[in-house]
């Protein structure tokens, strides 16, 4: 156990956590950033980011993240590889369990993100950022005039498919079941759209194009007839939801029915001194800039809290 009590600890090194690190480090709070299972967060697994302000030609996701990390380090942020297993937020200072170590901190910024659900196929994983995406808002633009596929049967899949019709020539919606979970209204909208074609009872066996590092199609199977076929497409979007990384706070702060952290006034949780920012508390926008913006808010609240309650 360490005797030091930190002013602030940041859980997560995606754009929310790194922005919070830049602000708290610059305020001389010497933040400790826990990097977690995905150092750099979701942007570190993508390629070109064209909608983050300040980069007229776009910037590679990993480069954007590296820049933010350098900026935070320059002001004194400390980074540590490690995964928060559990936290005790009922006593002050708060106690954080990281492996065999316990870290104490006066304030906590939770920026642990929400991981997209993937199919888990090796070919899918190999092609993330090269035609496979879990974010239509982020990557739809790259598929203007192309044929693409969306996988899923709920409202997120319908929403993604409808949004993607703005760019794509044709959108094939693949679902492994006969019945769709989506609400009637979303389903009807998708069915009525001339660019969307439905394929129920269909699973993806393989994403094609691994050697060329660019999606060229899907090997799919009809689970009723067991027939295999190839669907030529240049993009695959996952619309099967996200898993918020907040389980370790269950029972200590409020989570909604899907496990997202409930915040009020942007970044406040129900425990004073504990703030949540980025995708772990935002199921609506899920963008790098909104995550960064709320990371800034959380950092400013930490500063205010420490001014009022002492360091």
Is 291 near ligand FAD (CB under 6 A)? yes
277 is an active site residue? no
Rule CB under 6 A: is residue 69 a binding residue for ligand FAD?
no
Active-site pick, 3, 7, 15, 138: 138
- What are the residue ranges of helices labelled H in 28-112? 61-74
Distances, alpha carbon 84 to alpha carbons 58, 96, 150, 230, in Å: 33, 7, 33, 43
Query: How big is the site for ligand FAD, counted in residues (CB under 6 A)?
Result: 43
Closest CB 66 distance from ligand FAD, rounded Å: 13
Catalytic residue among 7, 139, 155, 279: 139
Q: Which of 49, 87, 196, 306 binds ligand FAD (CB under 6 A)?
A: 49
Separation of alpha carbons 54 and 48, rounded Å:
14
* Interatomic CA distance for residues 159 and 238, integer angstroms: 11
In sequence order, what are the beta bridge partners of 149?
A: 172, 236
Could you count the other beta carbons within 10 Å of the beta carbon of residue 62?
16
Q: Is 279 labeled as catalytic in the residue annotation?
A: no
DSSP string, 156-202: HHHHHHHHHTTT-SEEEEE-SSSS--S-HHHHHHHHH-TTEEEE-SE
Give the one residue of 8, 24, 105, 112 binding ligand FAD; rule: CB under 6 A.
Answer: 112
Strand ranges inside 239-287, DSSP E: 242-244, 274-276
Residue 140 touches ligand FAD, criterion: CB under 6 A: no
Question: Cα 73 to chain center, whole Å?
Answer: 23
When binding is defined by CB under 6 A, the residue of 42, 123, 234, 269 that contacts ligand FAD is: 42
Backbone phi and psi for residue 172, each to the nearest 5 degrees, phi listed first = -100, 125
Instruction: Please report whether residue 300 would count as binding ligand FAD according to CB under 6 A.
Output: no
Told to check if 293 binds ligand FAD by CB under 6 A, we report no
Q: Which of 84, 158, 215, 236 binds ligand FAD (CB under 6 A)?
A: 84
Residue 17 touches ligand FAD, criterion: CB under 6 A:
yes
- Give least dist CB 260 to ligand FAD, A: 11
Closest CA to 251 of 232, 269, 238: 269
Shortest distance (Å) from residue 140 CB to ligand FAD: 10
Contact set with ligand FAD (CB under 6 A): 11-17, 34-39, 41-43, 45-46, 49, 51-52, 83-84, 111-113, 116, 128-129, 133-135, 138-139, 245, 248, 278-279, 286-289, 291
Q: Catalytic site residues?
A: 135, 138-139
């Amino acid at each position: 156990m360490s005797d030091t009590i930190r002013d602030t600890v940041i859980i997560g090194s995606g754009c929310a956590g790194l922005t919070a690190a830049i602000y708290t480090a610059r305020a001389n709070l010497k933040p400790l950033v826990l990097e977690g299972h995905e150092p750099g967060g979701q942007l570190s697994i993508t390629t070109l980011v064209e909608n983050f302000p300040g980069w007229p030609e776009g910037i590679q996701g990993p480069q954007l993240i590296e820049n933010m990390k350098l900026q935070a380090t320059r002001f004194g942020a400390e980074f540590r590889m490690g995964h928060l297993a559990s936290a005790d937020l009922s006593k002050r200072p708060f106690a954080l369990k990281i492996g065999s170590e316990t870290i104490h901190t006066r304030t906590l910024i939770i920026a642990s993100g929400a991981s997209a659900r993937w199919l888990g196929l090796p070919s899918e994983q190999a092609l993330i950022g090269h035609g496979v995406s879990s974010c239509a808002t982020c990557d739809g633009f790259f598929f203007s005039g192309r044929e693409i596929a969306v996988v899923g049967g709920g409202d997120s899949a319908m929403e993604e498919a409808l949004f993607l019709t703005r760019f794509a020539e044709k959108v094939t919606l693949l679902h492994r079941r006969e019945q769709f979970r989506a609400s009637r209204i979303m389903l009807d909208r998708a069915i009525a759209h001339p660019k969307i074609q439905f394929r129920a009872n269909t699973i993806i066996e393989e994403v094609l194009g691994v050697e060329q590092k660019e999606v060229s199609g899907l090997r799919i199977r009809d689970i009723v007839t067991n027939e295999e076929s190839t669907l030529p497409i240049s993009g695959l979007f996952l619309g099967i939801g996200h898993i918020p990384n907040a389980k370790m706070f269950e029972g200590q702060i409020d989570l909604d029915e899907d496990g997202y952290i409930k915040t009020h006034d942007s970044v406040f949780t129900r425990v004073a001194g504990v703030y949540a920012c980025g995708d772990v508390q935002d199921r609506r926008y899920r963008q790098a800039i909104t995550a960064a913006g709320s990371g800034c808010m959380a950092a400013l609240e930490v500063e205010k809290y420490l001014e009022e309650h002492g360091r």
